Structure 1
């Protein structure tokens, strides 16, 4: 019996496993771009410098900062950043934006933006900068009296014209007081009414310049009022400018109201001072 031929083959060499490739490193998470801590840009035009405040132009519920205009370099502007807890007068801002009302601080633009110092969004209002500063630094400051023969021309006429123009647009100012008046020029000859949108109407008004009824209300509930309310505040402001100071500084609000009821507004505000004849004629 023939033996079956056998074929001897070498066992196949074991296939060595390919070395494991290291897993690709995970890409670092992409963080959304953040606003610079030193400036932000509003409306793709106005650069507001967070590290350049202007304390002399602060409002009770808004902080002032330097601004540059990318389209008009050198244009004198400043921004008021409204405190997050204070609702501004948005409807009035929309009406006044870009409007050139004589003898009223011009509201150039406004917007809402992330504000790094507060780490949240804030309303930002951009104004033409008054180069002569405030007429009175505060309600407790004194004022260099304007000569009687210039009082009507330099103060009464321009400011009353601004109020009439606002009234024609259906707007009450509700922030007329001596420390919210400004000189637009460095020579301090052109006086204008200041901001009226960075707080609710009349919220920051002293009781001395408010009508009796409004002065007795809570600050946040005084309301937009009407033209006579603005005229009352205007008359009280004129009287303070005429005598050079607020004669009621340090007097409690309740006492101011009591005196107005008992003595009348003029007697209360003038106290022992004597106002010029031109102011008396206006107040009548």
Structure 2
């Protein structure tokens, strides 16, 4: 895999000194080409704690509207991915035109920034997992699906995980037949940090947002599927649930059923949603399959993975468990009892006798051996 260098307004091999304010403290000129207006906030474009500011070409001319995202010291930006992002020119993706360190007057210190062409106007959705938009499938396909397939192809070709695909990070541009979405920034925060839990596969949703890691292209496709579902549905069946309850609902019902509730979709859009929302990443549609679907090919439905359920429950923390995934999720709630059921082999016997799953038994044995050798 190639190592990327941060994108800059004038790409070069040598690291440049941080851009300094000019004309007082209201303007910071980046690389002599882009003026960042420190006193002109764009709060509607903020990415969580990352603040957005108006920027413009220092030389004037056409296409002069830019937005600068000023990173926070406590959150490591994706500097090494900037080169790949800058190389993508796609109308469905915010175009990165600069990245680097500046002396930032509002905090009297240095900050890393990302500068994009500002074609991000109206957010597709102001909040995530709050009801739905109730769009017709035809509009969703034309405005969201087709532009996003093109964007996903470019991301795949650059071996770049976006990690920030969701309805509130898409912006609507154009009207009528020219209406389409633009996917926003993904570099100013660690991957997945800003993703609401519902947009993450179960295994990532269970992790602390800062500890979710780089993620994968399969995770992007899953988030794309959740985004489409939120746009299509009219209500949120998970409304009012805690994060833990949402994860449990996904585990027990499957993501598609958990997100759609009693709403029913038919035809091609149903096929796409089910393909993208397989909880088993091995079953989840690939981009090649999405392209085939877009070209009108009917794809053979994949066999859903069997949900593992024990013939008899295991008792833990005054609860009965039939599914190992739910037990694994709850073990940290009572670490003393968790240690006991491991040491007295209650857990091992339940796995071998009630689950009868050799793969889980092998993983459990491996985890116990590692803990005994290295400590918990």
Aligned ranges 1:184-195 → 2 under 5 Å: 184-185=173-174, 189-195=179-185
Deviation, 1:165, is: 1.5
- 2:98 aligns to what? 109
Q: Secondary structure at the match of 1:117?
A: helix
Counterpart CA distance in 1 for 2:21 and 2:102 is 14
Deviation, 1:221, is: 1.4
Q: Which moved more, 1:129-138 or 1:236-245?
A: 129-138
Counterpart CA distance in 1 for 2:139 and 2:21 is 55
- 2:139 aligns to what? 150
How many pairs were matched up? 253
Selected match of 1:280 from 270, 274, 279: 270
Q: Which has the higher contact order (CA 8 A, sep 6+)?
A: 1
**TM-score with structure 2 setting the length:** 0.62
Deviation, 1:256, is: 0.7
Q: Which moved more, 1:195-204 or 1:34-43?
A: 34-43
Contact kept? 1:104, 1:162, Cα under 8 Å: yes
Contact kept? 2:129, 2:198, Cα under 8 Å: no
Contact kept? 2:101, 2:112, Cα under 8 Å: yes
Whether 2:205 is the aligned partner of 1:238: answer: no
Q: Secondary structure at the match of 2:168?
A: helix
Selected match of 2:154 from 133, 155, 165: 165
Selected match of 1:264 from 235, 254, 276: 254
More helix by share: 2
Task: Output the aligned Cα RMSD.
Answer: 2.3
Whether 2:61 is the aligned partner of 1:76: answer: no
Q: Secondary structure at the match of 1:85?
A: coil
Deviation, 1:105, is: 1.1
Q: Which moved more, 1:217-226 or 1:273-282?
A: 273-282
Deviation, 1:138, is: 2.0
- 1:28 aligns to what? none
Unaligned runs of 5+ in 2: 1-19, 275-376
Selected match of 1:54 from 42, 52, 71: 42
Q: Which moved more, 1:133-142 or 1:115-124?
A: 133-142
